Amino acid sequence: MAQSHWDVVIAGGGLGGATLGRALAMHGARVLIVEHELAFKDRVRGEGMLPWGVAEARALGIDALMRDSGACEVRWWKRYLNGTARDTRDLIATTPTNNGCFNFYHPSMQQTLLDAARDAGAEVRRGVTVVGLETGDAPALVIHTENGDERLRAKLVVGADGRRSVMRRLARFTPNQDASRLIIAGVLHEDLDTPDDTVQYFQQPSIARSALIFPLGERRYRSYFIYGAGTRDHPLSGSHNAQTFIDLSVETGVPREWYADARTTGPLAAYPGADCWVEHPYRDGVALIGDAAATSDPSFGCGLALTLRDVRVLRDCLLSNDDWHAAADDYARQHDVYYASLHRIEDWLTQLMYETGPLADSRRARVFPHLAKEPQRVPDLQGRGPDNPTDEHARRRFFAEDIATV
Ligand SMILES: Cc1cc2nc3c(=O)[nH]c(=O)nc-3n(C[C@H](O)[C@H](O)[C@H](O)COP(=O)(O)OP(=O)(O)OC[C@H]3O[C@@H](n4cnc5c(N)ncnc54)[C@H](O)[C@@H]3O)c2cc1C
């Protein structure tokens, strides 16, 4: 079997793998990225990166590149409750790092960042599949190519191969999986009659539904419809459901006239929203990043930001410690803390905004007025993500349990 030696071999050339490859190659590491796909297509993935992720992009030095490659910074975040406009947030003025969302078409941004990794000196091999892994002090990835299998030995192997990670299994991590509470369906629309500078978020908690529209620029929009698991017989996927997707969005509050000239121009796919994660995403020479380490529920739109947080933290650990085993261990320790914090916030939001039934309704009736009066009770998911306090005190404030009921 052919064999080669690298500092880092990265399985997966998504936003996580490509950005890490670029960052390490820029500092002189010999990096190889192996990517299964020969050409990127619409997989219905994240296209709205929250402001705390934009801050990570800036720390990684890719924000200008992303802007130049079509990411548009969206300033306004508008919320509707049960069909009535609730508030409009100026993200640039109110987030700690003064960023809007970065919205972009995922397949072209994947290509941009993979090209950038190559420009920085990383080698990129496409159309190859990971088929084996040897863990230990000198780990190796085994890939299948048209010329036979190859062993790629490295100081560190990174699994950046997404939500259905093969690397997670090959490295014998034990995944944890939340119960399925939400389903998220997404589709690409063109020519919606809605402003280009605003993310639109429609929520109908009593029936566990939300609709979200992220403008991507050039009259394109990624539309999501989120619904309670078990509330539909069949998943909302496949082109035959395109009109049902629109009808359900309208029932959830999106004005029907926005769709007058709309065209559906990408696949309609539905995914379970449940988190899947590993504790301590480093062992025996193999680190996991991005969705491979922790797939956070896409209903809350934090996956891209979390992926770039992983890249930035792993990069900083590796660049500040020659002992890469200790450095990757340090990354995994930090990951446990910030991912757990994000997971708690998403759990609270799921309980408050998607649980149904009389108890859930009466909790909302009690809690909503307090949150409206003191919005700082709600963790700032867009601006601060996992850096919000998430201890018991924060939980009680969110659910207004610190206020006596009479
Ligand atoms: C419906 C939906 C909506 C979402 N919406 C949002 C949102 O609005 N905002 C947000 O921030 N996040 C969102 N996300 C999450 C976001 O898309 C992910 O968190 C992000 O793409 C993870 O990046 P990644 O690089 O870890 O993985 P991926 O983007 O999945 O990239 C993994 C790469 O690895 C390659 N690969 C896989 N297996 C192999 C193999 N065996 N060998 C070689 N290559 C392999 C794949 O081809 C792919 O290119 C959404 C996700 C879904 C499913």
Q: What is the pLDDT, as a whole number, of residue 90?
A: 98
Helix (H, G, I), strand (E, B) or coil at 31: strand
| Ligand 1 centroid – CA 11 distance (Å) | 13
Atom of ligand 1 nearest to the CA of 186: 1
pLDDT tens sequence across 179-215: 989 999 999 999 999 999 999 999 999 999 999 999 9
Task: Tell me the mean pLDDT in the region 143-156.
Answer: 92
Amino acid 111: pLDDT: 97
Q: Which atom of ligand 1 is nearest to the CA of 50?
A: 11
Ligand 1 proximity of 141 Cβ (cutoff 6 Å):
no
Predicted pLDDT of residue 201: 98
Q: Is the pLDDT of residue 406 over 80?
A: no
- Beta carbon of 11 within 6 Å of any ligand 1 atom: yes
Does ligand 1 lie within 6 Å of residue 161's CB atom? Answer: yes
Helix axis angle, 51-59 relative to 303-319, nearest 10°? 30
Instruction: Return d(Cα 326, Cα 329) in angstroms, integer.
Output: 5
- Angstrom distance (rounded) from CA 219 to CA 234: 30
With a 6 Å cutoff on the Cβ, whether 275 touches ligand 1 is: no
Least confident stretch, 141-145, 279-283, 345-349: 141-145
**Does residue 405 have a pLDDT over 70?**
no
Does residue 222 sit in helix, strand or coil? strand
Q: Report the b/e string of 21-31 with b at 16+ CB within 10 A.
A: bbbbbbeebbb
| CA angle (401, 402, 405) in 5-degree steps | 70
Give yes or no for residue 239 CB within 6 A of ligand 1: no
Residues of the chain with pLDDT > 90, as a percent, come to 93
Average pLDDT value for the chain: 96
Average pLDDT over residues 357-373: 96
Task: State the pLDDT confidence band at 124, using cuts at 50, 70 and 90.
Answer: very high
Q: How far is the CA of 163 from the centre of ligand 1 (A)?
A: 6
Cα–Cα distance, 170 to 132 (Å, whole number): 7
Alpha-carbon separation of residue 263 from 75, 189, 222, 239 (angstroms): 25, 6, 12, 12
Rounded Cα distance, 226 and 299, in Å: 7
The residue whose C-alpha atom lies closest to atom 52 belonging to ligand 1 is: 45
What's the CA-to-centroid distance between 80 and ligand 1, angstroms? 28
pLDDT tens across 15-68, in order? 999 999 999 999 999 999 999 999 999 988 889 999 999 999 999 999 999 999
| Domains of the chain: residue spans and CATH | 2-73+103-176+277-343 (3.50.50.60), 182-272 (3.30.70.2450)
80-120 tens-digit pLDDT: 999 999 999 999 999 999 999 999 999 999 999 999 999 99
Any atom of ligand 1 within 6 Å of the Cβ of 13: yes
Ligand 1 pocket residue status of 35, Cβ below 6 Å? yes
Closest CA to 71 of 93, 39, 103: 103
pLDDT given for residue 325 in this prediction:
96
